[in-house]
Structure 1
Amino acid sequence: MMFLKALYIGICAVGIVFVYNAWKTALEVRKEQMEEDIINAWDKHVVSPSVTFQHLHVGINSNVDLIVPGVVLLKALAVPSGRSENKDILKTVNDLEETFAHFFAKGSAAERAFLDKKIFQRIVSTSKMLEMSQYHIGGNAALMASIITEQFPEVKISFIGPVGPKLLEMLPRSLNIPTKSHISTDEVHLIMEYSVGDTWGDLTSPVANRFITSYDESNSQATMLETFFESLDTQKTDLVLMSGLHILEGQSKDFFIRRIQAVCDGLINIPRSLPVHLELASMANVDFVREILTKVISKVSSLGLNEQELTFASLAGDGPHNSDFYHQSGPPEISKAGDMVIWLLQNYGQSSQNPESRLTRIHFHCLSYHIIGNVKGAWTNSAAAVAAGSRMAGKQACDVQRLNSSIVDLKFPKSFKAFSDDIEREFDSNKPVISWETDEFEFSLSPVLVCNDPQKTVGLGDSISATGLMFSQYIYAQK
């Protein structure tokens, strides 16, 4: 009797395992099919606008990126794992460890400036000795120029930024780089990458990302700012791309305010018919970000930013969900991101209450999805643009020409709300671009297929924004 009972239990156990494995396999097959559906649907969605940008003016930050495994570098520096604390400015190796640990645990991209040149140079020297160290083109503006040249070789680009000898060798030969942009010694930025599941002390990274630090004299003082505006030929340019304001954060408040005013003075002289895109990057000083919000973004046509920059902007501007900045881990809920994007457009964008603003477009990008919001009638082809940006995120992270379902993972909810007070929307993998509108604004959203084994995380946001822009069409005449 006991034998039969044990046999029965064994058969049941085997049956349960069989059913579970069959169920799990079916789910994996269905999930892989969803990812394939999205890839195929993107191919149909990504179409060029009727009028494309052909002559670009891009600046103002550029450098050489020295890319290293973050945890390996900290171990080589013999710095112990300890506190996790967000520091606005880095003064010591311990500051580097604590701030790296803070964002490592959250899985968020971040960038901080070093105040001590000698300490930074010592860290760079250690980095160069690591077997896995690599040199790449660095700086948001230089990366945007490079990715556009690679994807759209027929486009003419004038690039303004501090270009040293090594960077000049790496930049595409097709870029027009005036001699005023040349500097004698390259600026080096240290990129500390990490993979999902990496450990540092008691911390484990939830996603693959990077932490950036630098001691940068040219970019941190925006030395190419005047050259950028003086060399802009508005008659021969149809798109202006600008980034690098975040590196000013390492300077005094008085200096920062003066340079921001110089940015505003230059932007005011650009005709409203010529679209200007500003790409933000990680900052930690609330007062400085508030200066950019209140003085700069209403003078640009388009804005690009990620989850750290969006939530910090909301914190600086007293927007929705602003306390999430302190405890957010990973991408924000779609409804919260939607709330913050529409808040930016309502408070700083062009409207009947604020007709002087030229801000009409925002491209928000994070690990698992993108949102493009624009003022009605100001831009077209946004659905194609958000699909192109989302597709580029997976392609660059995996470092492939075409995605396939075996190398990516869909991390998008089955249902979601576009805003906190919105209806629940179901996601259909055959229709991966979702569009909706309010009285004043239009929105498009698409998931990202997250790379299972990321090869390139540096410059991902710049590639995404640049790609989305090149598939967008600016309609000034309708405003």
Structure 2
Amino acid sequence: MSSTAPLLNTMIVQSVSALVFSVLIGFFVYRYRVLDSSEIEQEIILSWSESISLPKNPFNDLLVGINSNVDLIVPGVELLLKLNVTPGNYFNHDQLYSLDHLQETFSYFFRKGSAAERAFMDVDLFGKIVSEAEKLSNPHFYIGGNAALMGSKIANEFPNVKLHLVGPVGPKLLKLLPSSIIVPKISHIAKDEVHLIMEYQPGELWGNHTAPVATRFITSYDESNSKATMIEAFFQYTENFHPDLIILSGLHLLEGQSAAFFNQKLSFIQSELDKVPKQTPVHLELASMANKKFVKEIALQVLSKISSLGLNEQELTFLSHAANGPHGEYFENIHGQPDIYKISDIILWILKTYGYSKENPSYKLTRVHFHCLTYHIIGIHPSAWKNNPSAVGAGTRIAGIQACDVDSPNPDLVTLKFPKQFKLFSGDKMRTFNESQPIMNWTKDGFHFSISPVLVCKQPLKTVGLGDSISATGLMFSEYVPNFNS
């Protein structure tokens, strides 16, 4: 007994050691495997599925408005060639009066790889451009306008939600909208407003410029939306329908109007937002604008009256430029992926300048959702919003799904373009990205932030309305605390 016991103990120790060694080797082999470039995307997708959850108290009754139209989507370069427009100078025109203006403004954003939208001021010329666009191969009309796109995404993904859409809805658009969306009679118009979507792909050439990413340039001549003809009906509608979330969009289209008209509409919107009950959050979705004075007025008159703001890198950096925020000239220098710390600095400035605080208890802004091609950041006042990590993760997940036009994330169709080394904000230490924890969270000056990378579609099939789907999804995964400032 005594002679065999030591031998038995030695065999047990050796067996356990071998088992532990095998487990460790297996672990390191696994880690090496998932860190391979072909496996990283799968690791992120798995992490999303484990960490993203719906809020305990979701939104159920929504009012969405006001810009809606049909989008005619065409290849941008092909259309310009069809119009006998040749490559030339690039310049950012605030408004478009000619084919030269179209070419120069398209080229300006094409070389930057930034989505943009500009109003055409000549109705006859725009009509001719649309006629030529309809002659291209496989032209298709789709749901367009931030309000209609956000409403459609929510209706399709959250079928139990009761959603009312107030905005100009013509016959084509009415047929395209999900049947569950309630479109009151005040929204019906006789003829659809058409927006022309000029898409391009990464690596596509226009003159001596190469598109760095897949995105689009939008132009339109739109009476109903550019004059916000439905804005009075939109706010009047809240008197009978009491939503638990209001989504407002289309202010950017007022840029094509005179300063007097713009200010009159903005003053009306400001006064109506003051009437919205404090327990009802209002989300404003911005879009591309070029008039510094108009953007500054939106910041001064509207931002403190809303609860949530959605915007991309062009809109965020130009807002900071127009309203004297941090990194004010950065909007002129963005090429490709915007610096994370600069974006989070600007989000923090927006929340501190126009947001709710003990010093400004009447201000309502408590949430900013930023989205770009490669990552999203949501900054919140933690007493007003919950489930923020899930909201930003759900937003980034839907970006790759929609761009690839698939039903669920597919690691073979997407790629990670998030930086390996980065700073979350100015003064922060340099960090290393960990694909097993793609949703990162931090607190700065009392505000909570969440960031998640986008898995970018390698061959995007559907870029139009991507920002609207992202914002809509992020909202539906967010939870608002109605009486946070009581």
- TM category (shorter chain) comes to over 0.9
After the TM superposition, list the runs of 4 or more consecutive aligned residues in structure 1 that deviate by more than 3 angstroms: 26-29, 233-236
Provide the rounded CA distance (Å) in 2 between the counterparts of 1:295 and 1:317. 12
Provide the rounded CA distance (Å) in 1 between the counterparts of 2:355 and 2:138. 44
- Report the AA paired with residue 41 of structure 1: S
Residue matched to 1:118: 124
Greater radius of gyration (CA)? 2
For residue 141 of structure 2, give the secondary structure of its aligned residue in structure 1.
strand
Q: Judge conservation of contact 2:144–2:195 (CA < 8 Å) in 1.
A: yes
Ranges in structure 1 where 5+ consecutive residues have no aligned partner = 1-25
Quick check: 1:293 aligned with 2:299?
Answer: yes
Q: Map of 1:11-26 to 2, 5 A cutoff?
A: none
Provide the rounded CA distance (Å) in 2 between the counterparts of 1:382 and 1:146. 23
Of 92, 99, 105 in structure 2, the residue corresponding to residue 86 of structure 1 is: 92
Give how far 1:28 is off. 10
Number of residue pairs the alignment of both structures matches: 454
Give how far 1:477 is off. 2.2
Q: Map of 1:334-413 to 2, 5 A cutoff?
A: 334-413=340-419
Provide the rounded CA distance (Å) in 2 between the counterparts of 1:132 and 1:106. 27
- Report the AA paired with residue 355 of structure 1: P
> Bigger shift: 361-370 or 257-266?
257-266
For residue 31 of structure 1, give the secondary structure of its aligned residue in structure 2.
coil
Q: Deviation per CA, 1:32-57, whole angstroms, max 9, x where unpaired? A: 21111100111112101110100000
Residue matched to 2:253: 247
TM-score (norm 2): 0.92
- Report the AA paired with residue 269 of structure 2: V
Give how far 1:233 is off. 4.2
Ranges in structure 2 where 5+ consecutive residues have no aligned partner = 1-31
For residue 130 of structure 1, give the secondary structure of its aligned residue in structure 2.
coil
Q: Judge conservation of contact 2:33–2:39 (CA < 8 Å) in 1.
A: no
Q: Judge conservation of contact 1:307–1:331 (CA < 8 Å) in 2.
A: no
Quick check: 1:130 aligned with 2:136?
Answer: yes
CA RMSD of aligned residues (A): 1.2
Q: Map of 1:228-247 to 2, 5 A cutoff?
A: 228-233=234-239, 236-247=242-253
Give how far 1:439 is off. 3.4
Quick check: 1:438 aligned with 2:444?
Answer: yes
Residue matched to 2:275: 269
Provide the rounded CA distance (Å) in 1 between the counterparts of 2:110 and 2:473. 27
Residue matched to 2:148: 142
Q: Judge conservation of contact 2:47–2:438 (CA < 8 Å) in 1.
A: yes
TM-score (norm 1): 0.93
Residue matched to 2:181: 175
Quick check: 1:221 aligned with 2:210?
Answer: no
For residue 196 of structure 2, give the secondary structure of its aligned residue in structure 1.
strand
Of 464, 472, 481 in structure 2, the residue corresponding to residue 475 of structure 1 is: 481
Q: Judge conservation of contact 1:415–1:425 (CA < 8 Å) in 2.
A: yes
Q: Deviation per CA, 1:210-229, whole angstroms, max 9, x where unpaired? A: 00000000000000000000
Residue matched to 1:11: none
Provide the rounded CA distance (Å) in 2 between the counterparts of 1:67 and 1:227. 29
Residue matched to 1:210: 216
Q: Judge conservation of contact 1:68–1:127 (CA < 8 Å) in 2.
A: yes
Give how far 1:235 is off. 6.4
Quick check: 1:100 aligned with 2:82?
Answer: no
> Bigger shift: 317-326 or 228-237?
228-237
Give how far 1:320 is off. 1.2
- Report the AA paired with residue 114 of structure 1: F
Q: Judge conservation of contact 1:345–1:359 (CA < 8 Å) in 2.
A: yes
Give how far 1:419 is off. 0.6
Provide the rounded CA distance (Å) in 2 between the counterparts of 1:122 and 1:61. 23
- Report the AA paired with residue 166 of structure 1: K
Quick check: 1:191 aligned with 2:197?
Answer: yes
Provide the rounded CA distance (Å) in 2 between the counterparts of 1:460 and 1:161. 20
- Report the AA paired with residue 286 of structure 1: K
> Bigger shift: 430-439 or 207-216?
430-439
